[in-house]
Amino acid sequence: MQGFLFYLLAFLGVLLMFISVINMWIIDTKNKKSKEKKSKSKYIKLLIVGGIVFILSRILHGQLL
């Protein structure tokens, strides 16, 4: 059961990173088409949080370090 929770945390971390990368890509394509530039800082923070969650779940599960 404990292993399942760590795998679930790792999956959520990867999902957060995937969603933030897709959103940053969408913002880049919209910024190229318009003169008004949108900020990507919220998605960069989400990417960092997803990476931290993923790394912590791997460390706590014992598969990293």
SS3 64: coil
DSSP state of 38: P
Look at residue 65 and tell me whether its pLDDT is greater than 80.
no
* pTM for this entry: 0.83
pLDDT in tens, 5-60: 999 999 999 999 999 999 999 999 998 888 888 888 999 999 999 999 999 999 98
* C-alpha distances out from residue 34 to 18, 28, 39, 43, 54, Å: 25, 10, 13, 20, 35
Please report the pLDDT score of residue 19 as a whole number: 96
Proportion of the chain in helix, strand, coil states, percent, rounded to 5: 80, 0, 20
pLDDT band at 2, cuts 50/70/90?
A: confident
